[in-house]
Structure 1
Amino acid sequence: MFYRFCRSLFRFFFGVFCGWEVFGAENLPQKGPVLVIANHFSYWDPVVVGSALGRQVHFMAKSNLFSYPVLGFLISKLGAFPVDRQRIDRTSLKRALSLLDEGKIVCIFPEGTRSKTGALLPPLPGAAFLVRKAGVSVCPVALQRKKRIFGNNLFPCYHVHVGATFSVNKPGRRDLQADADLMMAKIKELLEDSI
């Protein structure tokens, strides 16, 4: 209930004040576990992805965000869970796998951090590890920040492109980094197709 309320509020906000557009939202499966992957260049990105998709999304969020009392409380209520980016965080991986096992959606930013320039960064293997362990489909989301000719650019104007789901679970031994590169290439394709 709280998640749906916040999503509706932000959809209204992005629609009225930011001129955002969402393409391909119907590509997200309406039920079952899905790992959503997206590029990352702004603190707004999780809010934008969560608002664009029609189901609740559980985000891995850097652990220090939870140290702020109000923010930590809010993002926990919205389904986020902490990840320590300084090491392999087995607790967060188990949490993500548990959520996927329950048929829910988990979102991860494969780059592992925000891109300061907006250009795609090389992906880390974490998302590929989750897909291999959980055996779930992947839904790529490409985020583009658009500048408005008129108006205040304080609030971000996004174009959100939701791609078709795909699988990387092929038989045989596979290289996690190769799978991570494949997953990032899907985001890159969405960005290139939208130009």
Structure 2
Amino acid sequence: MKSHQKRTAISHYILKNIARPFIKTLWVKKVTGIENIPKKGAFIIAMNHQSFFDFLIFSAIAPRNVHFLAAEKFYKNRSWKALMVLTGQIKVERETKDKTELHNHVKTHLGKGLLLGIFPEGTRSPHKDEMLKAFNGISKYAINHKVNIIPVGLKGMYDILPKNSRKISFKKTAEVHIGKPIDVSEHWEGESDDEKYTYITEKVMKKIELLSGKKYNHYTHNHAE
């Protein structure tokens, strides 16, 4: 086993067996739909984003290791950088136009049958009850790499550590609601354009909206349930 794989395996073990009980006791009030994460196979995990703790909370309750796309700002802080590296997260250079390295990382991870975590909004929403407009990266990855998408709704994260705050609340709790995988296989073949990407992205955001209770006000298609 390669060294980075060993580090990821060890950190995953630590997260599950040491950090998980700690995190669940302090912050996780409720988890539903854990059975919706298949035991094997590549999938994209898509969830709403309000806190630095989002990926940590989900990673602690997930039955499999999840590799999230993480903004470069996480790597500027020594402590956060160590956590990002140890848990096998994927750095995203937002200001870099050439995304070849990022795309190669995504291709490698999904090609190995791993779980890729993405926050479709791209950054933390500053609103307690509303989500930001999502980017189409999630649908492009799903189509290009022929994988399906698992929607996740997080509740309570804004109260634990909202954007622009450094004060962590140990009195508030969160909920994690995991939806059934969204089958987008009918879109894997044929021509792809912005219309198709937007349709899939909005379909995912509709599910996240229902799971999280956070309003998504950016629909251009009818996704009535």
Task: Tell whether the structures are fold-level matches, with TM greater than 0.5.
Answer: yes
Instruction: Provide the alpha-carbon RMSD of the alignment.
Output: 2.1
1:182 aligns with 2:203: yes
Identical aligned residues as a percent: 26
1:165 and 2:181 correspond: yes
Residue from 41, 51, 65 that aligns with 2:50 = 41
Counterpart for residue 154 of structure 1 = 169
Distance 1:109 1:66 in 2: 17
> One-letter code of the match for 2:88?
G
In the alignment, does 2:150 pair up with 1:129? no
Task: State the shift of 1:19 in Å.
Answer: 4.7
Question: 1: distance between equivalents of 2:71 and 2:89?
Answer: 10
Q: What is the aligned counterpart of 1:57 among 57, 63, 66?
A: 66
In the alignment, is the contact (CA less than 8 A) between 2:152 and 2:212 conserved in 1?
no
Residue 69 (structure 1) shift:
2.9
Q: Give 5+ residue unaligned stretches, structure 1.
A: none
CA distance in 2, matches of 1:87, 1:2: 29
Q: Does 1:74 align with 2:92?
A: no
Distance 1:184 1:71 in 2: 28
Code of the residue aligned with 1:127 in structure 2: it is I
Structure 2 counterpart of 1:30, one-letter code: K
Instruction: Specify every segment of 5 or more residues in structure 2 that has no aligned partner in the other structure, as ranges.
Output: 1-9, 161-167, 214-225
Shift of 1:182: 1.2
Look up the equivalent residue of 1:134 and give its one-letter code: H
Match of 1:31 among 10, 25, 40: 40
Does the 8 Å CA contact 1:36/1:107 hold for their aligned counterparts? yes
Judge conservation of contact 1:145–1:159 (CA < 8 Å) in 2: yes
2:103 is matched with which residue? 93
Q: In structure 2, do the counterparts of structure 1 residues 7 and 136 end up closer, same or farther at CA, with 3 Å as the change threshold?
A: same
TM-score, normalized by length of structure 1? 0.88
Counterpart code for 2:169: L
Shift of residue 90, structure 1, vs aligned partner: 2.7
Structure 2 residue matching 1:120: 3-state secondary structure: coil
Q: Distance in 1 between the 2:201 and 2:191 partners? A: 14
- The structure 2 residue matched to 1:16, chosen from 25, 35, 47, is 25
- The residue type equivalent to 2:72 in the other structure is S
- State which of 131, 150, 156 in structure 2 corresponds to 1:120: 131
Where has structure 1 moved over 4 Å in runs of 4 or more?
none
- The amino acid across from 1:97 in the alignment is K
User: Does residue 109 in structure 1 map to residue 119 in structure 2?
Assistant: yes
Q: Kindly tell me the number of residue pairs found equivalent between the two proteins.
A: 189
TM-superposed deviation, 1:37: 0.4
CA distance in 1, matches of 2:90, 2:126: 24
CA shift for structure 1 position 166: 1.5
Distance 1:96 1:67 in 2: 22
SS in 2 for 1:167: coil
